[in-house]
Amino acid sequence: MKHFLSINDCPAEQLKELLRISAKLKSLYSIGDRDLCLSGKVLAMLFEKPSLRTRMSFHVAMTDLGGEAIYVKPEDIGGLGKREPVKDMARVLSRYVDGIMARTFEHSTVTELAVFATVPVINALTDWSHPCQAMADVLTIEEHCGRLQGVKIAFIGDGNNVARSLAFACAKLGMKMVIATPAGYELDAESIQAANQISADSVSQTNNPNQAVAVADIIYTDTWVSMGQEDEKQKRIKDFAGFQVNSELLKSAPAGAKIMHCLPAYRGYEITDEVAESHDSIIFDQAENRLHFQRALLKKLMS
């Protein structure tokens, strides 16, 4: 495993191995033990967009494993691909650090970094995908459901980067996913086809949220307005009416279905405060598992 760019590039066995390492490191760290496998190693973290969870959890994961992380804002370096080509940045950074993680607008920026870097490159969210989030989500689902095989996820809202990575994870790991979006906000047909080629009928779409949640073990939502879509905010708020995860929608779902959200959550829009704070909400376990999954990922790629 050289880079971590998209879940659909990774063999299922590799994903399962990462989940096993995540669980092992999680229990090791919970008893105060440490694995210092990245002692002396440095990770460069390039961010074109804001972040709380990704930035902090990668930084803490590197420190936990004995290494160091350097946070780089686009303004510090004159923009990604602006002051100098991405391919030059990739080769220069490869001479200084042992790994590069990047959160970018265009997915092609991380793939280009990976082509030219001689160190591992990690996708920390692009407009197209968010694989670290999906793997932390899978770890959380396994902990709460006791299994992955046959788990049913209803994703309510936008057919976005988070939905896409989760769809690939479902296809690779034996889960089923129904994505309920307003018309015009579906996940692209190519991604659905790719998921269903990995595992037939693993991912489907509907425009009916009540139908989507009817047999769900997990009800997942994300913002209606992803980073970079701020200009569309007013239109999106109108278009997504009826796609809020609220107590009314949950009447159509099995009792005890778990509520997930990658965060940040915009309460009163895609989810109500009541549901986000409810007993069945596992959103903070998800956020915590970013750290545990990323320790495993960094260990696998960089040690």
The residue ranges that bind ligand CP (CB under 6 A) are 51-54, 125, 133, 262-264
| Shortest distance, position 53 Cβ to ligand CP, whole Å | 4
Residue whose structure tokens are 């109500």: 272
Give the Cα separation of 21 and 27 in Å (integer).
Answer: 10
Supply 21's token pair.
Answer: 């390492």
Omega cis (within 30) before 264:
yes
* Active-site residue, from 130, 236, 261, 292: 130
User: Of residues 35, 98, 137, 222, which has the active-site annotation?
Assistant: 222
52 binds, among ligand CP, ligand NVA, none (CB under 5 to 8 A by kind): ligand CP
Based on the shown chain and the rule CB under 6 A, indicate whether residue 161 belongs to the binding site for ligand NVA.
yes
> Position of tokens 């994870």?
169
Place of tokens 């590039």: 9
Q: Find the binder of ligand NVA among 226, 272, 281, 294 (CB under 6 A).
A: 226
Specify whether 193 is catalytic: no
CB-facing half-sphere around the CA of 240: CA atoms within 13 A: 26
Q: List the end-to-end C-alpha distance of the chain, in Å, as a whole number.
A: 12
- Amino acid identity at 112: E
Confirm or reject binding of residue 198 to ligand NVA (CB under 6 A): no
Which residue, 94 or 223, has its beta carbon nearer to ligand NVA?
A: 223
Q: Which of 12, 145, 227, 237 binds ligand NVA (CB under 6 A)?
A: 227
Query: How would you classify residue 256: left for phi > 0, otherwise alpha for psi between -120 and 50, otherwise beta?
Result: left
Q: What is the footprint of ligand NVA within residues 11-50 (CB under 6 A)?
A: none
Residue 133 is among the residues annotated as catalytic for this protein? yes
* Closest approach of ligand NVA to the CB of residue 162, in Å: 5
292 is catalytic: no
Q: Is 130 a catalytic residue?
A: yes
What SS3 string covers 261-285? ECCCCCECCCECHHHHCCCCECHHH
Stretch near ligand NVA under the rule CB under 6 A, chosen from 143-151, 154-162, 166-174, 240-248: 154-162
- Residue 270 binds ligand NVA, judged by CB under 6 A: no
- Is residue 107 part of the annotated active site? The answer reads no
Catalytic residue among 3, 53, 103, 295: 103
Q: Can you tell me the distance from the alpha carbon of 135 to that of 290, in angstroms, rounded to the nearest whole number?
A: 8
286 binding ligand NVA? (CB under 6 A): no
- Name the active-site residue from 10, 35, 59, 133: 133
User: Who contacts 39 (Cβ-Cβ below 8 Å, separation ≥6)?
Assistant: 65, 66, 67
The residues that are catalytic are 103, 130, 133, 222, 262, 290
